[in-house]
Amino acid sequence: MRRNHRGFTLIELIVVMAIVSLLLTLAAPRYFRSIDRSKETILKANLDATRDALDKFHADTGRYPEQLDELVSRHYLRSLPWDPIAESAESWVIVPPADGNAGAVYSISSSATGTGTDGSSYAQW
């Protein structure tokens, strides 16, 4: 009496694994590049929103805030923005006003090291 054994042979499994690994070597670099581009897009959006809130604060009060938390406490921002490159909301580099205006926070920049996909430093955005 002969039994029908169902299943895959070792050769079939090796061929499938080779195809899967080939597809992964093609797809993985594109995936990680898209993750990096997404982080850069979020960083730029957070910088723009925070700088806009700083400008509105200055227009309303005639001075710049003493610290970033003041934007949150006075409802110009819901929360401190997240820096996805540095992976922190507390690591912003504060840029003070140069013209002697009152206040301490004229702008912010990222504390992340390295360069973006466009070749510019994250700290210069």
Q: For residue range 43-93, list pLDDT tens digits in order.
A: 999 999 999 999 999 999 999 999 999 999 999 999 999 999 999 999 999
Mean pLDDT in the chain?
Answer: 91
pLDDT band at 2 (very low <50, low <70, confident <90, very high): low
- One-letter amino acid at 118 equals D
pLDDT at 117: 86
If pLDDT is split at 50, 70 and 90, which confidence band does 1 have?
Answer: low
Distance linking the first and last C-alpha atoms of the chain: 76
Both tokens assigned to 27 = 């797809």
- Output the pTM of the full model: 0.77
**Sequence-ordered alpha helix ranges (H) in the chain:** 10-61, 69-73
